[in-house]
Amino acid sequence: MTVQSTSSLVVTSTPANGVRLISLNRPDKRNALSEPLIRSLLSELSAASSDPEVFSIILTGNGPFFCAGADLNDIAPLDEAGARACRYLEDLCNGFLSVTKPIIAAVNGPALGGGFELALMSDFIMSSDSAYFVLPETKIGLIPGAGGTQRLTAAALKCILLAQPMTPGEAKDAGLVCDVVSPEALIQSCLDIARTFTAENRQSIGFAKKAICRADALCRDDLFERDLYYTSFGTAEKKRGVDDFLAARRKRV
């Protein structure tokens, strides 16, 4: 495995010809999404997308978590105006949409909130049997803001309104996950998919992905979701929920 580049937040490597592996690298923070991490991730996605030697991308997390979602320490001080002024949510969604090469999410552990939405932005989700999926935002006075309410369809009621976790098996039954494998077999299973994308089908795969993303976008209203997400930052429920969660976390440490 050849390491292409390493930063404090994202590590990239080439585990096989034509495959770029991008790993979120904040294991001490459960790979929570800070603005610097998002910027690093977008930079690596853009580099992989423009590299003629890369035909597919695998996204995973270092450590036991895939991604714990937004860093609540960053969210806590934001009101509605502050949330709307942050552009990295739009940039994240647009960044994934701009990648014409297949993205495979290798969900190696819990995918919470924005971490679950990261997986949903990918074209394929492969899950280890140690993972679980949950959109817990309503418990802290918020809602998903990166496509969670739009991409989950029928599964959204349990995940969002009840904020209950979804097991890998339930995610597979809902059609969200391609397969569930052991943690040890996860990256190899993703590589088995990734190797089907080659120089010979690069152009047609890119065209197909653009067409699918276009059709998908016409059926969704991400802007409506995002507007409600920002509005929720102005509520007393959000301030109380985030403050209580962070206070409980500090007590556990």
Is residue 80 annotated as part of the catalytic site, yes or no? Answer: no
Helices of type H across the chain: 35-50, 72-75, 80-85, 88-97, 114-121, 148-151, 156, 168-173, 186-194, 202-219, 222-232, 236-252
CB 63 within 8 A of CB 32: no
- One DSSP character per residue, 164-190 reads --B-HHHHHHTTS-SEEE-GGGHHHHH
Q: Which of 117, 119, 141, 147 is an active site residue? A: 117
Is residue 206 annotated as part of the catalytic site, yes or no? Answer: no
Is residue 114 annotated as part of the catalytic site, yes or no? Answer: yes
Alpha carbon distance 124, 102 (integer Å): 8
Is residue 115 annotated as part of the catalytic site, yes or no? Answer: no
Q: Which of 70, 131, 155, 194 is an active site residue? A: 70
Q: Which of 114, 145, 147, 241 is an active site residue? A: 114
- Biggest alpha carbon distance in the chain? 56
Alpha carbon distance 108, 148 (integer Å): 20
Q: Which of 61, 115, 119, 137 is an active site residue? A: 137
Residue positions annotated with a catalytic role: 70, 114, 117, 137
